[in-house]
Amino acid sequence: MAEKRNFALRDKEGNEIGVFSGKQPRQAALKAANRGFTDIRLRERGTKKVHIFEGERIQVPKPSNAPDWMPASIWKPNVKKLGVEKLEDI
């Protein structure tokens, strides 16, 4: 079974502004998108890879099998992978 990996969220200047974890980069990107980030650049900790995603979150009605305490509409994240970059220096 794959272990969780840490991905550092980078802003446009290259500063790392947060850390998200997941077994795959997409899982970490979905977490970032759910918090409102749209331009998602995740550097995998321990490597020089930067995974680039485009994210959004939309409000959808709750599922039919949802518990009673859940609100009528919920936020659903969506991401699209644009590619992978390699950093020259960290």
Domains in the chain: boundaries: 5-86
Output the six-digit token pair for 31.
Answer: 């977490």
> Average pLDDT, stretch 16-37?
96
The pLDDT assigned to 88 comes to 83
The pLDDT assigned to 2 comes to 78
pTM, two decimals, is 0.89
Rounded CA separation 44/37 (Å):
17
The pLDDT assigned to 89 comes to 66
- What is the average pLDDT value for the chain, to the nearest integer? 94
Rounded CA separation 72/62 (Å):
6
Give the least confident one: 6-10, 37-41, 59-63, 86-90: 86-90
CB atoms within 10 A of CB 68: 4
> Average pLDDT, stretch 59-79?
96
Beta strands in the chain (DSSP E): 5-10, 16-22, 39-44, 49-61, 73-86
Contacts of residue 19, defined as CB under 8 A and 6 or more positions apart, other chains included, come to 6, 7, 8, 9, 45
